[in-house]
Chain A
Amino acid sequence: MIQFFNVSKIYSPNIIALDDVSIKIDKGEFVFLVGPSGAGKTTFIRLLLREELPSRGQILIGGRSISRLRPREIPFLRRNIGVVFQDFRLLPDRTVAENVAFALEVLEMPRREIKPRVEKALARVGLTARAHFFPHQLSGGEQQRAAIARAIVNNPHILVADEPTGNLDPAIAREIMNIFLEINRMGTTVIIATHAWNIVNSLRKRVIALERGRLVRDDREGVYGYEA
């Protein structure tokens, strides 16, 4: 469970990126984070990952305040949160399987445990056949699948994605969203910041809307609600 209590984030000198946001996201939910450019969606995600500290307020994950974490504990928070970005961020000199394995290697997991997990993650995103391709040999959609596989290979409780379909055409975007839905069905909390209004509108999932840092809307089965 994720809880924001009156969270504000002010960048120096006085840019208010988030303004007194309180919200609760239950375990296993699927949430779209929408709002115009500059509304604070990326800031919301960065706070969740503890890349930034809130200027005011508290963020709890699983009942624990993440602002109170000591620097040494931050990596262990992140092992529980998978992240996917608009620009995929795959390592160009490694194959898909190696990219996915990398996320476990750097956690010092034994190799014999890594291999089956990587295979399973690649199967979940439908990329088994491309396991030994390099990123530059893949389409954008396939690269994003690889990035998703990397984000879920350690079985995080939470998966966040910042405009994961921003670089993809609508048909591929829909495929990627289906993968997120599938991951969510297995119990993972999924939070997606997006501008893909047609997908948001058709899925009727929870929609949290931000505008100039403020929480303006929180609908159970919401729509995008902005001019595309």
Chain B
Amino acid sequence: MKLRTLGYFVRQAWYSMWRNAWLSLAAMASVAVSLFILGAFLLLAFNVENIARTLQSNVEIAVFLKVETPRQKAIATGEAIRKLPGVTAVDFIPKEEGLRILSQQLGNEHDLLGALGGVNPLPDLFRVRVSDPAEIQTLAAAIASLPEVEKVNYGQAVVERLLQVIRWLRWLGAGLILMLGLGALFLVILTIRLAIYSRRREISIMKYVGATDWFIRWPFLLEGLFLGLAGAGIAGFFLYAGYNFLVQQVRLALVFVPLVTDASLIQMSIWGLVAGGAFIGIAGTYFSMRRFLRV
């Protein structure tokens, strides 16, 4: 393709876009909205995953022994836990220590043991740290099956809830994006279809004088690409600005929420939007051309 021809195509696409300015704008906005939501869901999913991962890597397994377990067996159980693969540290907190911590929390002058009738109701406790958070579930199960162990607790509820949220988010996001994406695609198809329609005389003459099919198609492809990329640009801008704002607010207010600020991840999301916009634009044009531009 000659450079001059490329310029001609770009000009044609540009004029054509302005000729149906309102529809072009609607198509762009529609692409922008669906891509913005796509990006928002991507960032949300990244963050929830990140939070889940942070929580997971912080959790330890709390192992409660049966209350009546003799000290000797308790220590033997601790050894058994220590020998399990993937366990990095085991802290033993005997029941006396547990009671001391508890009464400290309640206030020192309180005679907790006396109030309990001289019987310590607490079990012996191990705090177990593991090398790989992903292994925590299997390890917890292995520990739970030891004979002296009453129960184990590793904050599974929180982590599992988060994982559930992620799954749910994925479905919701996919559904919503599919719907909005189809809407955007439809508007692009409509815009290009109208563009083809308003240039039908020119197209017919081009065919008669022997313009090649691709010469006729290129301006429409470019127009579709413009629409898609403009939509992606708008979505990317608002997403980037909005996310930066959010990160700053969270940093001030909710220091403990670990938001993703990895620049490469955000960049990747934005490139994803650009690719999505280009795809919607070109796919829309393709469908329009197949149906309305039999060259």
Contacts and interface: CB of A to CB of B under 8 A. Distances in A.
Contacts of A111: 4
B209 A103 contact: yes
Interface stretch (B167-175, B200-208, B239-247, B272-280): B200-208
B222 to A, nearest CB: 16
A89 B206 CA distance: 11
Sort A-B residue pairs by CB-CB distance and give the 5 closest, nearest first: A79-B210, A78-B210, A106-B211, A103-B209, A75-B210
Which of B5, B8, B201, B211 has the most C-beta atoms of chain A within 10 angstroms of its own C-beta? B211
A97 to B, nearest CB: 15
Interface string B206-223: 111111110100000000
Contact of A89 (B5, B8, B201): B201
Contacts, number: 48
A143 interface: no
A107 B213 contact: no
Interface of A: 49, 71-72, 75-80, 83, 89, 91, 102-103, 105-108, 110-111, 150, 154
B213 A89 contact: no
Interface of B: 2, 4-5, 8, 201-202, 204-213, 215
A111 B8 CA distance: 12
A75 B205 contact: no
Contacts of A83: 208
A154 B215 contact: no
B234 to A, nearest CB: 31
Contacts of A80: 210
A1 B124 CA distance: 106
Contacts of A91: 201-202, 205
Contact of B205 (A79, A103, A154): A103
Given A83-B208, A91-B202, A150-B205, 19 more contacts: A71-B213, A72-B212, A72-B213, A75-B207, A75-B211, A75-B213, A89-B201, A89-B204, A89-B205, A91-B205, A102-B205, A102-B209, A103-B205, A103-B209, A106-B206, A106-B211, A106-B215, A107-B209, A108-B5
A187 B206 CA distance: 25
Contacts of B212: 72, 75
Contacts of A106: 206, 209, 211, 215
Given A89-B201, A91-B201, A91-B202, A108 B215 contact: yes
B16 to A, nearest CB: 13
Nearest to B207: A78
A76 B201 contact: no
Nearest to B206: A106
